[in-house]
Amino acid sequence: MEPRPGDKPHHLPPPTLWPIGFAVGVACVLVGLIVSWPAVAVGGAIALFFGFLWVRDLSSGTRRAEPPPVPEARAPAASPVSAETGGERFPRNRFLEGATLGLGAVIGGIVTVPPLGLMVATAFEGQKFRDIDLGPLTDFPSGEFVITTFVEDPAAGEVSRRTAYIRYNGLLSGQPSFTIISNRCAHLGCPVQPSGLPSKQSKEVKDDQGVVVLQKTMVQGTSGFACPCHGGAYNTEGNRTAGPPVRALDRYEYSIKNGRLIIGSAYSVDYVKGTGKDARIKKYPLHNPGQHVAGPEFWLWPIPELRV
């Protein structure tokens, strides 16, 4: 249909860079889900800012568009559109804009909601370590490591059996001091082995069904720990001395109750300064093997998965 005299052209909203900024923000959010939460926050702020500007421009462009002029009165003629429908209520450009934004929101939700849900759900899973009685303090001689295996969850059975290397360091400020090192290698999680000569005798504690839930074996002359899988090596404080591990061995919290040693939750360690009761340790949340807990590598690593 040719334009009639006096008609004004109907212009679409001018091109803008806001969609590019919105796309950059969404990309930052997706990358942040792998890198770190601060990146997610920055990406979300960018996406919201440019999305707001984009929607504002689209809305203002629609408001500025002038309605087509009213045609002059003519002789009645057959009209393809009945008077009841009132013509086209939603112009095509507005429909396409709404469909594009709606489809983008659906795709963004499909991409972001599942990983976010999994990460949030992990925080609500039962990760609390159950305190376990490892027996009287007299079972742990001063200066020597004791290989201690225990069942973390009796209901789960052997799958929850853990091993820790425990050394009594003497008194610190009048309280017993212990070094409790996990046997899980900080490279890929293989069980590390202590050097030295293990005793042929061990103490065992069995449950009502006869299952050994606690076993302690003393090792004399321990000079460090080694991983038989890939050659990782650690000193007596759990610090890495050779091989591919990325940090020191994990450790366990502990407490003393009525003259008995109670082991608590595990935590990760980057590096231990000092030895024995004089050691200075900075605790980190328990990380999976192969993950850095500090330093430049930590910021270049994906979001750490806490142990579940």
- Asked whether residue 213 falls in the same domain as residue 267, the answer is yes
Q: In whole angstroms, what is the distance from residue 292 CA to residue 204 CA?
A: 36
Question: Is 183 in the same domain as 294?
Answer: yes
Rg (CA), the chain: 33
Give the separation between CA 306 and CA 90, rounded to whole angstroms: 51
Q: Which residue reads 């590019």 in tokens?
A: 20
Confidence at 149, pLDDT banded by 50, 70, 90: very high
What DSSP string describes 178-195?
Answer: EEEEE-B-TTT-PBPEE-
Q: Determine, yes or no, domain membership for 34.
A: yes
**Cβ neighbours of 168 (radius 10 Å):** 22
Same structural domain, 27 and 174: no
Residues 115 and 140 occupy one common structural domain: no
Using a pLDDT cut of 90, give the percent of the chain over it: 29
From 123, 156, 173, the end of a domain falls on 123
118 and 43 co-located in one domain = yes
Distance, CA of 232 to CA of 237 (rounded, Å): 14
| Number of domains, the chain | 2
Give the pLDDT of residue 242: 92
Average pLDDT, integer, range 151-171:
87
Quote the pLDDT of residue 83.
47
CB 297 within 8 A of CB 253: no
**What is the residue-averaged pLDDT of the chain?**
78
Assess whether 282 and 257 both reside in one domain: yes
Torsion of Cα atoms, 37 then 185 then 164 then 305, to 10°: 20
Residue 235 pLDDT class (50, 70, 90 cuts): very high
- Same domain for 181 and 296? yes
Range of the domain at 38: 9-65+110-123
For residue 137, give the CATH number of its domain.
2.102.10.10
Average pLDDT over residues 232-236: 94
- pLDDT, one tens digit per residue, over 19-45 is 787 888 888 887 777 666 777 888 888
157 burial level (CB within 10 Å; 0-12, 13-18, 19+): exposed
Please check whether residue 176 is in contact with residue 168, taking contact to mean a CB–CB distance below 8 angstroms. yes
Render pLDDT for 206-224 as a digit per residue (tens, 0 to 9). Answer: 777 777 778 899 898 888 9
